[in-house]
Structure 1
């Protein structure tokens, strides 16, 4: 199951940690969660091939540690070769592109752990592409479209 995380504050990072910690349980249940992208308010990191790959557990754990320490992700990951990076308007465009590519084939779960109502349009477009959405709070549901 491809998964894209929007918002990597405390709740988002804890979700990533739980994904890593529960790999054996997932395997026993025949489930594989592939984290294909992670967004904060400034940048998105994504795997080079969202159709087949996901970040490995080492990357996810290191990402959480860096983010917890307040490290600037742009400086760490931009031009690192470890992942693709996107910023500004390009983030929403790429998320919609990923949703369009995966929504009708393997599916895509967008997990919104942000505390923002600004994700409503993005989530709506992803849902229209056949994706699923998981919300950590009700803010997107209570804002007006």
Structure 2
């Protein structure tokens, strides 16, 4: 085999390995990508059914209901315009309360019930994820426009 042929084979093999590595990284990234949606977007059908995503907003006052098993909790997340019912099985964060900000991750069932696998509560009085704060601000502005 000539030196040129060996060099071409080495370069071709290196390019093939690099392409395979990039494909694996992109595949893993796509599988772990989680999008954020507001309750209004979910109700408008903009959120994927059967895929994992996040919903952020406020825990609706009077919506927290605990099941007899002590682990299952049902509550509602709102952006002050629309409300999404959520069910979650697990331990809730200490800061999780009615009227406070929360972000839930899970899937939307065909019945419109959001099945959460993770619940995140805001960390302090001033913190709210930027997407959730923006969504609440937009919903509040839309509510002000409608009521005037």
- TM range, smaller chain: under 0.3
Larger C-alpha radius of gyration, 1 or 2? 2
Determine which structure has the larger strand proportion and give its number. 2
- With normalisation by structure 2, the TM-score equals 0.25
**Structure of higher RCO (CA pairs closer than 8 Å, 6+ residues apart):** 1
Determine which structure has the larger helix proportion and give its number. 1
